Amino acid sequence: MIKPKTVAAAALCALALSACVVAPYPRQTGYYAQGGYYPEAGGPVVVTDVAPPPPYAEVVPAIPFAGAVWVGGYWGWSGGRHTWVGGHWDHGRPGYVWNPHRWENRGGRWYLHNGGWGRR
């Protein structure tokens, strides 16, 4: 037999969880948050006053398949600080070359530009 206290506890848990909604947090653009500036689309990904550390010397694993292209790691920006984003193998694209992520210093501010595939 199910105890009334167990039923009440289950009902309270169900009621409490029914108000939970899991949804992606929309990324706003053009605002300051957690030590960086996130400009409008098409510009740099992040602008901050904190210089990135020197890049890690990554050990590149063996090529996993023919035509694979190594996409090197880079210092990203998360939670108000630099975080290392490790490299990975990707499928090459005929007629394209991988342009790595890069930090650019302009007047003491650091701008992170996304990497991506560009025409040769």
Q: Which domain holds residue 91?
A: 26-119
pLDDT of residue 85: 94
**Is residue 65 assigned to a domain?**
yes
Q: Is the pTM of this model over 0.85?
A: no
pLDDT of residue 49: 92
**Is residue 5 assigned to a domain?**
no
Let me know: does 7 contact 13? Beta carbons within 8 Å.
Answer: no
Per-residue pLDDT of the chain (120 residues; tens, 9 = 90+): 677 777 666 666 555 554 444 434 334 333 344 444 444 444 567 889 999 999 889 999 999 999 999 999 999 998 889 999 999 999 988 888 888 999 999 999 999 998 888 888
Number of compact structural domains in the chain: 1
Let me know: does 53 contact 75? Beta carbons within 8 Å.
Answer: yes
Distance CA 83, CA 85 (A): 6
**Is residue 79 assigned to a domain?**
yes
Distance CA 81, CA 33 (A): 11
**Is residue 14 assigned to a domain?**
no
Q: Is the dihedral of CA 66, 68, 69, 73 positive or negative?
A: negative
